[in-house]
């Protein structure tokens, strides 16, 4: 089912610091996870993904960690910049076929200059 | 790569009229397209999934006669909101996945369409 929140949790971070955004997923059968960034009035933008056979994956300034034991996903942003201010959604799915993606409630990241 | 466009970006219409929103994959073949609706400060709510050349699969609670979806080609899907009412006002976002992308499991999103029904 869909996960819809009434309001978004907010994370405020000083510019230059590292940010950690957490997400709990619900389906133990999910094997593919994605982080999306959504700026105000725009569609979600793919940031990084990870499959269940990995527990860590790094991109440019971003790292995703996966803990399947507790069904937890995190996104780490190094040296956070004002342009990182947005809402971040984690998403889970089952790979292959036409499995739909289930989105988390989202976290708003505010970068303080 | 993996660019998805939507048109129009904003639309204002009168109550009772129908509105069509287009979603295009510009540089890949979208075998599957998804339509989402998003309310302010909330997550994305999946409305329907469509595979090229077949009927869309609607999520529970979504009226298929009100939200008509057509996925006639590998690069185009349309969502028509029929007899729109003010409660249909929302941000509608499409996504697509398919051949020619880095990962065929990844959905790539369009920029969204803001619908306002007066």
Chain A contact present for B5, CB below 8 A: no
C-alpha to C-alpha distance for A64 and A55, rounded to whole angstroms: 8
Q: What is the dihedral of CA B42, A30, B109, B39, to 10 degrees?
A: -10
Q: Quick one: pLDDT band at residue B26, thresholds 50, 70, 90?
A: very high
Interface test with A, best of B61, B94, B105 (most A CBs within 10 A): B105
Q: What is the pLDDT of residue A2?
A: 39
What was the pLDDT predicted at A82? 96
Establish, for the pair of chains A and B, how many residue pairs have beta carbons separated by less than 8 Å.
Answer: 68
| Chain A positions touching chain B (beta carbons under 8 Å) | 2-8, 32, 34, 36, 41-46, 49, 89, 93, 95-96, 98, 100-101, 103-106
Measured CA to CA, the distance from residue B94 to residue B113 in angstroms comes to 9
Across B88-113, average pLDDT: 89
3-state helix, strand, coil in chain A (%, to 5): 5, 50, 50
| Cβ contact B49–A100 (<8 Å) | yes
Q: What is the mean pLDDT of chain A?
A: 90
pLDDT digits over A20-41, tens only? 999 999 899 999 999 999 999 9
Q: What is the mean pLDDT of residues B88-94?
A: 97
Quick count: other Cβ atoms within 10 Å of Cβ A3?
21
d(CA B70, CA B86): 23
**Tokens 């000083």 belong to which residue?**
A14
Q: Report which secondary-structure segment, H or E, holds B25.
A: strand B19-25
Q: Is there a contact between A3 and B43 if contact means CB atoms under 8 Å apart? A: yes
Tell me the chain B residues in contact with residue A52 when contact means C-beta distances shorter than 8 Å: none
Instruction: Say how many residues make up chain A.
Output: 113
The distance of B108 to chain A (nearest Cα, Å) reads 7
**For residue A42, which residues of chain B lie inside 8 Å, CB to CB?**
111-112
């Amino acid at each position: 089912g869909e996960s819809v929140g009434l309001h978004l949790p907010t994370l405020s971070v000083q510019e230059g610091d590292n940010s950690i955004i957490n997400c709990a997923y619900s389906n133990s059968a999910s094997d593919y996870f994605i982080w999306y960034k959504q700026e105000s009035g725009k569609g979600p933008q793919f940031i990084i993904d990870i499959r269940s056979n990995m527990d860590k994956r790094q991109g440019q300034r971003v790292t995703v960690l996966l803990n399947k034991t507790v069904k937890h996903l995190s996104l780490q942003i190094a040296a956070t910049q004002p342009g990182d201010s947005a809402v971040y959604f984690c998403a889970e799915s089952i790979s292959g076929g036409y499995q739909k993606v289930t989105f988390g409630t989202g976290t708003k990241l505010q970068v303080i200059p | 790569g993996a660019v998805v466009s939507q048109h129009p970006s904003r639309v204002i219409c009168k109550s009772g009229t129908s509105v069509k929103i287009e979603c295009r994959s510009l540089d890949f073949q979208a075998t599957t397209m998804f339509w989402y609706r998003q309310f302010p400060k909330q997550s994305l709510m999946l409305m329907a999934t469509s595979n090229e050349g077949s009927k869309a699969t609607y999520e529970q609670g979504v009226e298929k006669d009100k939200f008509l979806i057509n996925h006639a080609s590998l690069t185009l899907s349309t969502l028509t909101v029929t007899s729109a009412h003010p409660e249909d006002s929302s941000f509608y976002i499409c996504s697509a996945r398919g051949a020619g992308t880095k990962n065929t499991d990844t959905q790539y999103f369009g920029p969204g369409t803001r619908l306002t029904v007066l």
